[in-house]
Amino acid sequence: MVSERNYSAATSLSNLCDFLVTDFVGADVRNILEMIFFVFLSGIISFFGAIGNLMNIVILCKQGLKDSINISLLGLAMSDFGSVVTLVWMSICFNPFFRYSSIPFESVDIQYLSAGWPHVCFARITSWITAFITFERCLCVASPMRVRQIITPRRTTVVLIVIFLVMLGSVSPVYYAIHISSFFHASRNLSLEGLVYSLDGATVEYVSFSISVFAQLSSFALVIICTLTLIANLLEKSRWRRSVAVTGSGQGMSGRDPLLDPTRISFRYHGPYSTRLKQQTVQSPL
């Protein structure tokens, strides 16, 4: 607890961030960094990313959803679209021209619930869909004859729905722990609508954050395992193809040997006889 600003269960996130960050780099440097990274770079990149994902969604819908990979890619595009759209809204909330305008709320506080945690949720969904697609590609190489029986469009749809529901459920406790209420902003000397924590809000938020970190790391681990398995299978099949090619080449040569033997025998025995016959013909009188 920071006694100077009375950070209790009704602590505002923006006041806490202002207090901690300003002590390290100063308010002016912090505002410049926020403008560069959160407003310009993040906003511009996320805007074009949202447009690209919208195009992917339209294209995949036109191609049809009869193939499992198209369903997976559609879910990936939808989750990534949600991830970048929340970043666009975050860049708007960090824009000082919007934040310090006459709006009746603290935009940095509001974006924590409306952009920050939704972005985390969609990012985790994206990582798990990526892990599922990697697993599907691994099956295509490890068991190509059975992959269509294992990964069906219906099963793919069920897996994607489960991923969305589990990740949404993992962040939902945050919205119980934190709610929007009026608070006094000390640095701006006015009352605004912002975040207020419940009595056990910090603990609940910590649990959700831990689940989010575990979900991210476990999806990365699954991607690494499937990728290594895919590489091992490809190398094994490559060695098998080379061995088959060498064996086939040897069998081809041995198959041609019986055809060449009569020719060799004929040349060996008839060659000297033909030469001798020619010599006798030349030496005999006409």
Structural domain includes residue 26: yes
Q: Which domain holds residue 217?
A: 13-240
Structural domain includes residue 251: no
Structural domain includes residue 75: yes
Report helix, strand or coil for 10.
coil
Domain count, the chain: 1
Structural domain includes residue 178: yes
For residue 20, what pLDDT is reported? 54
For residue 18, what pLDDT is reported? 58
Neighbours of 197 (CB within 10 A): 22
* List of the chain residues with pLDDT < 70: 1-26, 247-286
Structural domain includes residue 58: yes
For residue 218, give both structure tokens.
């476990």
Residues 6+ apart with CB under 8 A from 160: 71, 72, 75, 129, 132
Report helix, strand or coil for 283.
helix
For residue 270, what pLDDT is reported? 47
For residue 167, what pLDDT is reported? 95
For residue 30, what pLDDT is reported? 78
Give the C-alpha separation, 237 to 241, whole Å. Answer: 6
For residue 196, what pLDDT is reported? 86
Report helix, strand or coil for 12.
coil
Structural domain includes residue 143: yes
Residues 6+ apart with CB under 8 A from 65: 71, 74, 153
Structural domain includes residue 102: yes
CATH number at residue 169: 1.20.1070.10
Structural domain includes residue 220: yes
